[in-house]
Amino acid sequence: MSDLLGTRIPIVLAPFGGLSSIRLVAAVSEAGGLGSYGLYGYDGDRIRETVAAIRAATGRPFAVNIWLPTGDEVAPGPEHDAYAAVLSPFFAEVGAEVPARPDRYLPPVEEQLDAIWESAPAVLSVVFGVPSPEVVEEAHRRGIRVVGAATTVAEAVALADGGVDAVVATGSEAAGHRVSFLEPAEESLVGLFSLLPQVVDAVSVPVIAAGGISDRRGVAAAFALGAAGVQVGTAFLATAESAANDAHRAAIRSTAADRTVLTRAMSGRLSRGARNRAVAEIEAGGSIAPFPAQNWITGRFRAAAGAQGRGELQSLWMGQSAPLARYTTADEAFAELAAGIPAV
């Protein structure tokens, strides 16, 4: 795994859509792992600027992550105003205007890929699907490794058959969006201990374990089940180097495993995080816009809430092992995780 990704230690930072930071990516890569930066919503220019900034912060390999289109994404239309009106109380609470309909909710994936090819990171990771043969071929032509995420064995096989270099087996314990793409996310909820060994048995490419890994015990367990590496999110999200604010970090440290929920409230797609007031009220309202409209609209009041330190109105993404994320710095978290890797 280390040879494949160019790292000393097979620990991968999970890419955070909206919460990635150059400082954290650099810290993990400098420690010997693979820092990853989530490019959700970034246009081509912003991608080029971000990759250049990461390169200025570290000379070690790093990954960038994009979301593949699934075909069910909605474009801005007349319904936008109605979607936004439902959420107007949250905008009033943070003192922000209800946003007008934009020209687009997301940049085209082709625009993102063009910027990635120019920037040439060491690794391109994708979620919500199998990259096309053309994408895999172009990445490999440019010396870029390709990693895909699977929530079921069938998804892992599809990714391996599609030519990816490694598969991230993502257990249902994991924070953030459920990245299922063959079946609905609600029907693809497999815990990591069940998913990981079955994926290892089903594919010939290296498998990276993700979901509920926050200390050396989780790392050791993943390797015992056949993982070639681990991907860790919440434990790093709680550190000072992440883009999470103090309210989010406090929520990670105070939310019990059985108090995280899977919800479509914030983005229109199923995601795991803390059940705060915004989630509860949006769910109770019974009206959730489809993706990415819901994510774009809530993102505007969530950003304002974050600036004000109001955790009850943010997306408090975290996995079920959040109580184990006790680390202050990325180096502290990395050292603990690395201690679980078996000696070769």
Please tell me the predicted confidence (pLDDT) of residue 123.
98
Give me the phi and psi of 262, to 5 degrees please: -100, 125
Please tell me the predicted confidence (pLDDT) of residue 209.
98
Using the predicted structure, report yes or no on whether residue 2 has a pLDDT greater than 90: no
- At 197-221, the pLDDT tens digits run 999 999 999 999 999 999 999 999 9
The mean of the pLDDT values for the chain is: 97
Please tell me the predicted confidence (pLDDT) of residue 343.
83
Q: What percent of the chain has pLDDT over 90?
A: 98
Nearest to 97 by CA among 292, 301, 281: 301
- At 293-327, the pLDDT tens digits run 999 999 999 999 999 999 999 999 999 999 999 99
- At 10-50, the pLDDT tens digits run 999 999 988 999 999 999 999 999 999 999 999 999 999 99
Please tell me the predicted confidence (pLDDT) of residue 142.
97
Question: Do the beta carbons of residue 120 and residue 52 sit within 8 Å?
Answer: no
Please tell me the predicted confidence (pLDDT) of residue 344.
59
Q: What are the b/e assignments for 156-189, b being 16+ CB within 10 Å?
A: bbbbbebbbbbbbbbbbbbbbbbbbbeeebeebb
Q: How far is CA 95 from CA 92, 108, 214, in A?
A: 5, 31, 37
Using the predicted structure, report yes or no on whether residue 159 has a pLDDT greater than 70: yes
Question: Do the beta carbons of residue 138 and residue 108 sit within 8 Å?
Answer: no
Nearest to 128 by CA among 148, 154, 156, 99: 148
Mean pLDDT along residues 119-138: 98
Is CATH 3.20.20.70 what the domain over 2-73+106-253+321-338 is classified as, yes or no? yes
Nearest to 84 by CA among 73, 97, 74, 99: 99
